[in-house]
Amino acid sequence: MKSEYTFKRHCQKCAQWHPPGDEIYRDDNVSVFEVDGRKNKIYCQNLCLIGKMFLDTKTLYYDVEPFLFYILCEYDSQGYHFAGYYSKEKRSSMGYNLSCIMILPSKQREGYGKLLIEFSYLLSKKEGVPGSPEKPLSDFGLLSYRSYWRRAIYEILLTRGGATISIEDLATQTGMTVDDIISTLQTDGMLHRLPGSPGSYAIVADAKKTEEYVSKAREKNPRRIDPSKLRWAPFLIKATIDAAPTDRRLSTSTAAAIGGTHVNITSDNDDDDDDDDDE
């Protein structure tokens, strides 16, 4: 608003207490609404304009019809209060599950960014197709995502112990793409070539350091998404199906890199420590 008087007049007349879409998730005082850019064009354009205030790289704000917007709100007796959002394409040829994410500066450092990232992967698992954020990522975005990827992978490795697991199994359980999983493991120095077995790799992890990292991450960001509280079905687009959809879970280059084989989880106390979690 241009003035406090205009704002007060608006509050007296406006009867809308929440975003115009469907509430698809509620846990305690946090709710997430799904808003269609085609059905609520002005609202979504305003969201993008708010995003442009805080994101230097954001340029698009008028062409919102191909996107879905997921609005994170805090709920109290006064209604729903906007805290942040992310958008994604309704149909992404690259399998992107997130295009743009923004948390209001006043709501940062509260774990909402990681919460929305986790929510985007929950929807990917619900759709049955591993997802990935739109590339290239900004420096800050890469830090946030790598922190989330590392935590998600480490939690699964801890639950599996020394059992055999494949990259595809990790993709199914996390909702992440094979490429993002391999990139994270390689960055942490955990993907080792098995001698005498061309094309075969093993995940070499220090169980103690892995457990310490997960414990620290949980203490820093205790708020998590509860999948049982999601009320959502995948967005459907009417289209003529010309051919069966291709499986994007495993690219040709990745298959060549890992040889399509299983990888073993082992323990190596000499493995280097992983990086600290950056928000």
What amino acid positions are annotated as catalytic residues?
134
> Exposure pattern of 81-112 as b/e (b: 16+ CB <10 Å)?
bbbbbbbbbeebeeebbbbbbbbbeebeebbb
Which residue is associated with the tokens 């994007």? 248
Question: Residue 202 pairs with which residues in a beta bridge?
Answer: 192
Pairing of strands 96-98, 132-133: parallel
The Cα 259–Cα 249 span in angstroms is 14
**Rg of the chain on CA atoms, in Å:** 21
The Cα 161–Cα 154 span in angstroms is 11
